[in-house]
């Protein structure tokens, strides 16, 4: 594919797990993919592994730190004119996140900073570049744990609340960016370091709808919460 026609994507938190697989699948589709990670050594190693799949460039970015995000946008702009797809995948689930009655303010705030504020900061910083795309897309990787529909079951309250709030960020971004498809996605329970070995889905299965939203989903699908290519309540 000629370089001028190649679509470009940025995937955060992509040195392992679902993010790594999203980069792989996008690269196979002919995207030039920027693999975002906060750990430079891990990110560079991951990008090197995936270069057999296509054009993959490491981008150092810590989504919890505005200055890091700003530097990442500046560095990105040195290599590409714009991204067509931004996948806000970076997220954390910390050990102290077990009980809503005992979770510390520090643990709660740390979780929200990465899982909710991070995607907002990244989107804000990259919107000027996204607007240069003919069909820009933002995909926020959320979780069924963030659904208000059906109520909570007490699992990882900080993480779940952060994903509920991320869905709120998604609809706000969709309203602010009418020419951009902005959606949240639930990848399901995936066999990753976070999901554990007992999870019901492979990493490839978890990445599939994220990649679809970043590439081929109808562009007028926006402001929604999606699982397995279907809109779900949240």
Catalytic amino acids?
Answer: 159
Distance of alpha carbon 129 from alpha carbon 137, whole angstroms: 12
CA-CA-CA-CA torsion sign (39, 133, 123, 221): negative
Sign of CA dihedral 171, 115, 118, 48: negative
Cα dihedral 69, 70, 72, 77 sign: positive
Q: What are residue 139's DSSP bridge partners? A: 87, 183
CA distance 46 to 37: 9
| Beta-bridge partner residues of 34 | 10, 57
Write down the number of H helices and E strands in the chain: 7, 8
> Alpha helices, DSSP H only, in the chain?
17-28, 40-50, 66-79, 105-112, 118-130, 157-176, 203-215
Tokens of 50: 């995936």
């Amino acid at each position: 594919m000629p370089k001028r026609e190649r679509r470009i994507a940025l995937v955060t938190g992509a040195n392992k797990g679902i993010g790594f697989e999203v980069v792989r699948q996008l690269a196979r589709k002919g995207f030039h993919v920027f693999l975002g990670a906060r750990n430079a050594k891990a990110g560079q190693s991951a990008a090197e592994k995936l270069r057999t799949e296509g054009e993959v460039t490491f981008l150092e970015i810590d989504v919890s730190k505005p200055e890091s995000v700003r530097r990442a946008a500046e560095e990105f702009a040195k290599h590409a004119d714009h991204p067509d797809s931004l996948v806000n995948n970076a997220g954390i689930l910390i050990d102290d996140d077990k009980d809503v009655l005992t979770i510390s303010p520090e643990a709660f705030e740390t979780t929200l900073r990465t899982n909710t504020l991070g995607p907002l900061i990244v989107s804000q910083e990259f919107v000027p570049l996204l607007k240069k795309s003919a069909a820009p897309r933002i995909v926020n990787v959320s979780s069924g744990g963030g659904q208000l529909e059906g109520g909570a079951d007490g699992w990882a309250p900080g993480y779940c609340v952060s994903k509920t709030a991320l869905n709120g960020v998604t609809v706000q971004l969709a309203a602010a960016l009418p020419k951009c498809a902005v959606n949240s996605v639930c990848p399901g329970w995936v066999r990753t370091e976070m999901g554990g070995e007992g999870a019901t889905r492979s990493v490839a299965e978890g990445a599939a709808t994220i990649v679809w939203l970043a590439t081929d989903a109808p562009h007028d699908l926006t402001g929604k919460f999606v699982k397995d290519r279907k809109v779900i309540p949240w």
